[in-house]
């Protein structure tokens, strides 16, 4: 319940609709409770008294009450739906916005499948909980309470015989509800696993087909699906035992009413109409209990979902905004310094893993190009992700023009940095929309200039609608090299002070890559006026880094060598080994395109 109370703040904007729903619900309860008493009167005054006028007048009153009850139910449903839908919408917005503020570390711990379930299934469960509470969930206990009061008003002695049955029924429901939430939490965890497998399979279905691994993926999905089904069956089996038990209590209660009520009627203490009215009140007491049992799955599901949503909303970002953020000046030169940097990832358990980076100290001079070279897993991407604070260092520090990035406001920091990530992500929309993603106000000339610098202009013009060609999901209607060039254009149009290219030309041929590098150097040297842009390039192939002003060679999370291409060929065995394995031929001229072709 504590988790649900935390989410009640999302219902505050809809308090008027919620109050309206409760008022109409109270009217429904009052009208419902009036019917049994009128039934008793129509039997005692009309039928037994042989008064047709009383039968007609009381019947007319019952019809009017039924019509008003139906109207109140419609109004209550409309109000409760508006509250439930509004809360669900605001919850989805809050979770989505929270996810946008997550650091890379948070995203590592919350998988895509888990976040999708929280945004869809869990918010839907809370929505149903709100709606049910404002409708049946509140109506049932109020009807039950009113019926119990009227049972004692009708016959205190007969009502006293019903107390043990009511206590047993309520106790059974409380026990049932306490057991249900853990069951539903287990079901939702299985739903997380199923969604993770489903999301991975749909995203990689082409890879699955190419490796003929459909049977393996079907087995993975089947295992997750079977686990979900098995836990759901447990829940439903447990639920199915409740309705028969409560039905038994209802039948026992009716037998007692007939037995004790009949004896009182024979003695003249009760009328036949009072017995019928009492029996109706008993049903009005017990049926809400049955309804609450059937709806307890909604409550248990909603409570479990509220807990899972709060896990997201209360998750603290690993990269916190500084208490007094410093702005990065608009004319910042863009010099980068790594000072004794150490870093390690934290997994789902929160326990730190093995170090990824250790004692990294290096500088990227303003307006120069720093290249980071190394084998897969050497820590290249991890190092550059520390510059825009996608992660925070575990030791040492990263500074821009002498200011520690942890003291700079995140918006100010990211406004001066453009990143082309290792995995190219394009969004549905036009090619133009994707290039202008970071600067929606960019003019057409700027879009074309950025595309030309990224060597994307020619292939874009060859598309069916040119820049207006629609990009399909994740850019699947473009080749890998085309996606990378659009992503580079998207970064260049921002005119950043710091440009990070994280192995972003791996799908581009060497000739195009050389032209692209030349265009970037020319564009970034003039794009910011008198101050050039600092460029950080992550690469695995030598041809990408030949003309860099400085090259860092990473090996096992440490700097193995540092210098220019020519210096490293002479001084670094690790660099020389990488060079020979890719290009060979000894000391070739730096930046030689022909030399690059030898390795591709």
* Class at the top of the CATH hierarchy for domain 336-416+496-598: alpha beta
Structure letter (DSSP) for residue 47:
I
Residue 337, pLDDT > 90, answer yes
Mean pLDDT across 288-311 = 76
pLDDT at residue number 531: 60
Give CA 179 to chain center in angstroms: 27
Classified as helix, coil or strand, 224 is helix
pLDDT at residue number 511: 81
pLDDT at residue number 273: 73
Q: Phi/psi zone of residue 251: left (φ > 0), alpha (ψ -120 to 50 degrees), beta?
A: alpha
In the chain, the N- to C-terminal Cα span, in Å, equals: 62
Selected residue with higher pLDDT from 223 and 349:
223
Q: What are phi and psi of 393, to 5 degrees?
A: -65, 155
Q: What is the pLDDT of residues 79-129, one digit of tens each?
A: 888 888 888 889 889 888 888 888 787 777 777 777 887 888 888 888 888
10 Å Cβ neighbour count for 358?
A: 18
Point out the least confidently predicted range of 158-172, 351-365, 410-424, 556-570: 158-172
Reported as a pLDDT band with limits 50, 70 and 90, residue 342 is very high
Residue 291, pLDDT > 50, answer yes
Q: What are phi and psi of 551, to 5 degrees?
A: -125, 130
Rg, Å, the chain Cα set: 35
pLDDT at residue number 445: 92
- Quick one: fold of 2-313? ABC transporter transmembrane region fold (1.20.1560)
Classified as helix, coil or strand, 296 is helix
Q: Give the chain's length.
A: 600
Given a contact cutoff of 8 angstroms between Cβ atoms, the answer to whether 508 and 485 are in contact is yes
Given a contact cutoff of 8 angstroms between Cβ atoms, the answer to whether 549 and 368 are in contact is yes
Given a contact cutoff of 8 angstroms between Cβ atoms, the answer to whether 433 and 468 are in contact is no
Selected residue with higher pLDDT from 394 and 169:
394
Classified as helix, coil or strand, 112 is helix
Selected residue with higher pLDDT from 206 and 131:
131
User: Can you give the residue ranges of every domain in the chain?
Assistant: 2-313, 336-416+496-598
pLDDT at residue number 301: 75
d(CA 148, CA 278): 10
CA distances from 356 to 111, 152, 592 (A): 21, 74, 33
d(CA 518, CA 556): 31
State both tokens at 548. Answer: 């860099």
Mean pLDDT across 282-297 = 71
pLDDT at residue number 529: 47
Classified as helix, coil or strand, 361 is strand
CA distances from 163 to 138, 147, 252, 271, 282 (A): 22, 13, 12, 22, 11
CA torsion, ordered 257, 263, 269, 271, to nearest 10 deg: 60
Residue 142, pLDDT > 90, answer no
Q: What is the pLDDT of residues 465-503, one digit of tens each?
A: 999 999 887 788 888 888 999 999 999 998 888 999 988
pLDDT at residue number 353: 67
Given a contact cutoff of 8 angstroms between Cβ atoms, the answer to whether 554 and 362 are in contact is no
Contacts of 268 (CB under 8 A, 6+ apart): none
pLDDT at residue number 125: 83
Mean pLDDT, the chain, whole residue set: 81
d(CA 138, CA 144): 10
Residue 597, pLDDT > 60, answer no
Reported as a pLDDT band with limits 50, 70 and 90, residue 211 is low
Reported as a pLDDT band with limits 50, 70 and 90, residue 448 is very high
Selected residue with higher pLDDT from 122 and 178:
122
Reported as a pLDDT band with limits 50, 70 and 90, residue 44 is confident
d(CA 412, CA 397): 18
């Amino acid at each position: 319940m504590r988790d649900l109370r935390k989410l009640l703040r999302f219902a505050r904007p809809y308090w008027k609709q919620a109050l309206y729903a409760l008022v109409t619900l109270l009217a429904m309860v009052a009208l419902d409770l009036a019917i049994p008493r009128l039934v008793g009167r129509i039997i005692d005054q009309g039928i037994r008294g042989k008064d047709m006028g009383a039968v007609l007048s009381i019947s007319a009153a019952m019809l009017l009450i039924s019509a008003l009850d139906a109207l109140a139910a419609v109004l209550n449903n409309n109000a409760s739906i508006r509250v439930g839908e509004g809360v669900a919408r605001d919850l989805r917005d809050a979770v989505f916005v929270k996810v946008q503020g997550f650091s890379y570390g948070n995203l590592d711990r919350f998988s895509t499948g888990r976040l999708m379930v929280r945004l869809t299934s869990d918010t839907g469960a809370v929505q149903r909980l709100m709606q049910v509470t404002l409708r049946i969930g509140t109506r049932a206990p109020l009807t039950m309470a009113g019926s119990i009061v009227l049972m004692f008003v009708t016959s205190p002695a007969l009502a006293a015989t019903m107390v043990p049955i009511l206590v047993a029924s309520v106790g059974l429901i409380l026990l049932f509800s306490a057991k249900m939430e853990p069951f539903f939490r287990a079901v939702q965890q299985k739903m997380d696993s199923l969604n993770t497998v489903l999301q991975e399979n749909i995203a990689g279905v082409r890879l699955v087909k190419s490796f003929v691994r459909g049977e393996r993926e079907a087995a993975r999905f089947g295992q997750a699906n079977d686990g979900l089904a098995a836990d759901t069956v447990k829940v439903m089996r447990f639920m199915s035992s409740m309705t028969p038990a409560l039905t038994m209590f209802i039948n026992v209660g009716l037998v007692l009413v007939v037995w004790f009520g009949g004896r009182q009627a024979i003695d003249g203490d009760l009328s036949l109409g009072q017995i019928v009215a009492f029996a109706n009140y008993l049903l009005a007491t017990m049926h809400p209990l049955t309804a609450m049992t059937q709806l307890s799955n909604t409550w248990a599901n909603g409570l479990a979902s509220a807990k899972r949503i709060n896990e997201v909303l209360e998750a603290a970002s690993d990269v916190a905004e500084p208490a007094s953020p410093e702005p990065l000046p608009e004319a910042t030169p863009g010099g980068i310094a790594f000072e004794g940097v150490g870093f390690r990832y934290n997994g789902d358990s929160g326990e730190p893993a093995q170090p990824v980076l250790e004692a990294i100290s290096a500088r990227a001079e303003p307006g120069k190009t720093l290249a980071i070279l190394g084998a897969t897993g050497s820590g290249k991407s991890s190092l550059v992700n520390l510059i825009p604070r996608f992660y925070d260092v575990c030791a040492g520090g990263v500074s821009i023009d002498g200011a520690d990035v942890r003291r700079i406001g995140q918006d100010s920091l990211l406004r001066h940095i453009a990143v082309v990530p290792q995995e190219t992500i394009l969004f549905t929309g036009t090619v133009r929309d994707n290039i202008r993603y970071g600067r929606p106000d960019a003019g057409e000339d700027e879009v074309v200039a950025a595309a030309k610098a990224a060597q994307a202009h020619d292939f874009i013009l060859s598309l069916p609608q040119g820049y207006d060609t629609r990009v399909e999901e994740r850019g699947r209607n473009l080749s890998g090299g085309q996606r990378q060039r659009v992503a580079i254009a998207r970064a260049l149009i921002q005119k950043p002070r710091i440009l990070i290219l994280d192995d972003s030309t791996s799908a581009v041929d060497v000739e195009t890559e050389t032209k692209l590098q030349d265009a970037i150097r020319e564009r970034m040297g003039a794009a910011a006026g008198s101050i050039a842009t600092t460029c950080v390039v992550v690469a695995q192939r030598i041809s990408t880094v030949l003309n860099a002003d400085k090259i860092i060679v990473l090996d096992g999370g440490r700097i193995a060598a540092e210098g220019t291409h020519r210096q490293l060929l002479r001084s670094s065995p690790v660099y020389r080994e990488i060079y020979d394995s890719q290009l060979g031929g000894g000391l070739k001229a730096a930046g030689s395109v022909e030399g690059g072709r030898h390795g591709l």
